Amino acid sequence: MRKSNFYESMQVLERRKREAGAESTADLYRAVRNRFGRYCMKERLLLQDVTAARVAGFRAALRKEGLRVNTV
């Protein structure tokens, strides 16, 4: 069984949202994918690698950059 790549999975979700006409949501998915990729230094991530601890670290890094809670 092939393990799911996080970035590819996010691209699929983005494409589905665009096809459904949900452009704003698709844009948010793309932004998260890009920012998370920079946070993880572009390392190859499987969906199972996206843990609660990693997401908490990502959230803390965004806050450290000065982003407000509603943006994070």
Per-residue pLDDT in tens (0 to 9) along the chain, 72 residues: 567 888 899 999 999 999 999 999 999 999 999 999 889 886 788 888 889 999 999 999 999 988 887 777
Distance CA 69, CA 54 (A): 17
The model's pTM is 0.78
What are the backbone angles phi and psi of residue 13, rounded to the nearest 5°? -60, -40
Return the structure tokens found at 30: 């793309």
> How many alpha carbons lie under 13 Å from residue 16 in its C-beta half-sphere?
7
CA dihedral for 11, 16, 22, 23, sign (positive or negative)? positive
**What is the per-residue pLDDT for 44?**
82
pLDDT value at residue 3: 74
What is the model's pLDDT at position 56? 94
User: Using DSSP, how many helices (H) and how many strands (E) does the chain show?
Assistant: 3, 0
